[in-house]
């Protein structure tokens, strides 16, 4: 085999191995993203429906992929990590997991909004915003639910607060 020819690892096969381990663990893990470069650098991001992803979760997924791919046939580098709370939400399951949390939306028209994520479907999400306005000499908090189609949203991030 020519050194210029690199045998690409099948993304489908890696996803099958990941799903196999998810089923074995049965702890709510799900796949957020997977990428495989031309040099077989495999990057896997996972999340969990309830709670956070542990190091043990990442290791279990990594081991299943690593032990079922043949390095003699295809050399590869493998990285398995959690999606990260500071990263934008990318798939529906992440939105569902974070219902009730404060999120920041960046709309495609440039508008930024912050509010509590109230609901999320494949096609739209709803946030509850609150704004303090002055009415005469008093201040009032106006709470409003706003819905947006997913294709209107450029990015959604969890707002991290330390209380």
Walk me through the domains of the chain, giving residue ranges and CATH numbers: 11-82 (3.30.300), 92-158 (2.30.30.100)
d(Cα 118, Cα 131) in Å, to the nearest integer? 17
Strands (E), 37-150: 41-48, 77-82, 102-107, 112-120, 124-135, 138-149
In DSSP terms, 43 is beta-bridged to 35, 79
pLDDT of residue 2: 43
d(Cα 148, Cα 21) in Å, to the nearest integer? 35
pLDDT of residue 8: 78
pLDDT of residue 59: 97
What are the two backbone dihedrals, phi and then psi, of residue 156, each rounded to the nearest 5 degrees?
A: -130, 125
pLDDT of residue 6: 53
pLDDT in tens, the chain (163 residues): 444 445 678 999 999 999 999 999 999 999 999 999 999 999 999 999 998 999 999 999 999 999 999 888 889 999 999 998 889 999 999 999 999 999 999 999 999 999 999 999 999 999 999 998 888 889 999 999 999 999 999 999 999 888 7
pLDDT of residue 1: 43
Quick one: how many helices (H) and strands (E) in the chain?
3, 8
Cβ contacts of 119 within 8 Å, gap of 6 or more: 99, 125, 126
């Amino acid at each position: 085999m020519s050194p210029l020819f690199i045998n690409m690892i099948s993304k489908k096969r890696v996803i099958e191995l990941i799903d196999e381990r998810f089923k074995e663990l049965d702890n709510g893990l799900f796949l957020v993203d997977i990428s495989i470069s031309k040099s077989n650098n495999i990057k896997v991001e996972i999340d969990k429906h309830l709670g956070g992803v542990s190091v043990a979760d990442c290791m279990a997924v990594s081991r299943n992929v690593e032990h079922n791919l043949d390095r003699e046939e295809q050399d590869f580098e493998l990285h398995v990590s959690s999606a990260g709370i500071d990263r934008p939400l990318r798939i529906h399951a992440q939105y569902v997991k974070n219902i009730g949390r404060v999120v920041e939306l960046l709309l495609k028209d440039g508008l930024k909004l912050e509010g509590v994520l109230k609901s999320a479907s494949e096609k739209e999400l709803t946030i509850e915003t609150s704004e303090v306005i002055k009415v005469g000499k008093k201040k009032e908090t106006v709470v409003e639910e706003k819905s947006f189609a997913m294709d209107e949203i450029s990015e959604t991030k969890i707002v991290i607060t330390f209380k």
